[in-house]
Amino acid sequence: MCPAEHLPVLVSQVVAALAPSAEGWIVDATVGLGGHARALLEAQPEARLLGLDVDPEALALARERLAVFGRRVVLVNASYRLLAGIVHDQGLADVDGVLFDLGVSSLQLDTPSRGFSFRHDGPLDMRFGGEGATAADLLAETGEEELVRVLRDFGEEPHARRVARAIIRARLKQPIRTTGELHRVVRAALGPRRGRIDPATRTFQALRIATNRELESIPVAIDQAVRLLRPGGRLAVIAFHSLEDRLVKRALRHLSGRCVCPPGTFACQCQPERLLEIVTPKPVTPGPDELAENPRARSAKLRVAARRNG
């Protein structure tokens, strides 16, 4: 799939979710190739959009795609971890809507040199923004126990120790530098593919999340987004796997005034704040028509909340 064919997920649902608050500034905190941004700007002729993305390659393509909207669009090459500061740098005290489309994009998956997918052999990079340590660096430097934790916690890999030991044995012979090399190591450890999911899928997910520190950024960014919303403003978040979705659900519950302490806690210690009203008690998922057109949308879940008036 080339960038021109990029299919953003749940587009009509996102537009509908943000429509009640989309007459002013909307922030697309993960603008990617600009698919959601374009749909929002077309649906709301009075809206302006601030788009963020840590990936400079994606942002360059978004800039081309959104050029038709002229000064209605401002794009910034930055992580959504910095959301509040960037919004304030634009001279805005608050915004009308915020969108997060979490996870990896089609552009990243389909570019072998980015190293996100084992479907193409390429350098084991996996960085969204091109800065810091690569996934290959992480594999070379991480000890067994930490590698087990990464695979278990970020990939939900049931055979985390077996995979970690296989990686360590392989790297003693030579560094694991490419996606193909890592794929072969994991498949040798876990055996051939059973069903539709490749046995290396969880390992690649875990390394990508660890390389980009994705999960730790989500609650921080959502908290910033909620505090930036004007009363009645809306937040929409799309997650693509259970780890992301659980964090999103927990953050929204906490910011809607509900305790998220672990079961069995004697007294609430999390200090919830009632800043939000949950709009979607259950996540919105793609329908059969969208799944037929875009199979990559199959795991997408959209959650929506609105900033309380008081």
Q: Decide if 269 contacts 261 (C-beta within 8 A).
A: yes
Decide which of 212, 234, 251 is a domain's last residue.
Answer: 212
* pTM of this prediction exceeds 0.75: yes
Residue 24: other Cβ atoms inside 10 A: 16
pLDDT > 80? residue 22: no
**pLDDT at position 23:** 72
Model pLDDT, residue 262 = 87
Mean pLDDT throughout 119-145?
94
Question: Which DSSP state fits 208?
Answer: H
Let me know if residue 78 belongs to a domain: yes
pLDDT at 5: 52
CB 123 within 8 A of CB 113: yes
Distance CA 204, CA 195 (A): 18
Indicate whether 66 and 144 sit together in one domain. Answer: no
Q: Is residue 207 part of a domain?
A: yes
Tracing tokens 């044995």 back to the chain, one arrives at 169
Answer yes or no: do 16 and 68 share one domain: yes
284 pairs with which residues across the strands?
302
Determine, yes or no, domain membership for 112: no
Residue ranges in the chain assigned as alpha helix (H):
11-18, 35-43, 56-66, 83-89, 106-109, 135-141, 144-155, 160-173, 179-190, 201-212, 214-228, 242-255, 288-293
Domain's final residue, options 191, 212, 233: 212
Residues 169 and 236 occupy one common structural domain: no
Residue 281 lies inside a defined structural domain of this protein? yes
Per-residue DSSP letters for 50-98? EEEES-HHHHHHHHHHHGGGGGGEEEEE--GGGHHHHHHHTT-S-EEEE
141-152 pLDDT, tens digit per residue, is: 999 999 999 999
pLDDT at 1: 39
Q: Tell me, yes or no, whether 132 and 269 share the same domain.
A: no
What is the average per-residue pLDDT within 14-25?
85
* Number of domains within the chain: 2
CATH code for the domain in which residue 40 is found: 3.40.50.150
pLDDT of residue 21: 65
Shared-domain flag, residues 255 and 274 = yes
- Tell me, yes or no, whether 158 and 183 share the same domain: yes
- The CA-CA-CA angle for residues 37, 40, 44, to 5°, reads 140
CA dihedral of 93, 224, 213, 7, whole degrees rounded to 10: -70
In a domain, residue 128? The reply is yes
pLDDT at 6: 64
Q: What percent of the chain has pLDDT over 90?
A: 82
Same structural domain for residues 83 and 124?
Answer: no
Indicate whether 4 pLDDT > 50: no
DSSP-based three-state secondary structure for 103 = coil
Claim to verify: residue 44 and residue 161 sit in the same structural domain: no
Q: What is the mean pLDDT of residues 20-37?
A: 89
Q: What digits encode the pLDDT tens for the residues 110-123?
A: 889 999 999 989 99
Q: Does residue 87 contact residue 228 with C-beta atoms inside 8 Å?
A: yes
Q: What is the rounded CA–CA span in Å between residue 163 and residue 155?
A: 11
Same domain, 199 and 295: no
Examine residue 273 and state whether it is found in any structural domain, yes or no.
Answer: yes
262 burial level (CB within 10 Å; 0-12, 13-18, 19+): exposed
Region 38-44: what's the mean pLDDT? 94
For residues 95 and 140, membership in a common domain is answered with: no
pLDDT tens, residue by residue, 155-196? 999 999 999 999 999 999 999 999 999 999 999 999 887 777
Closest to 303 in 3D by CA, of 222, 228, 215: 222
Q: What is the pLDDT of residue 107?
A: 83
* pLDDT at residue number 57: 93
Q: Are residues 143 and 186 in the same domain?
A: yes
Mean pLDDT of the chain: 93
Last residue of a domain, one of 179, 212, 245: 212
Q: Containing domain of residue 13, as a range?
A: 3-107+214-307
CATH of the domain at 154: 1.10.150.170
Cα 307 to Cα 310: distance, rounded to the nearest angstrom: 9
Q: What is residue 302's three-state secondary structure?
A: strand
What mean pLDDT comes out for the span 274-286? Answer: 96
| 195 and 219 assigned to the same domain | no
Interval 214-226 mean pLDDT: 96
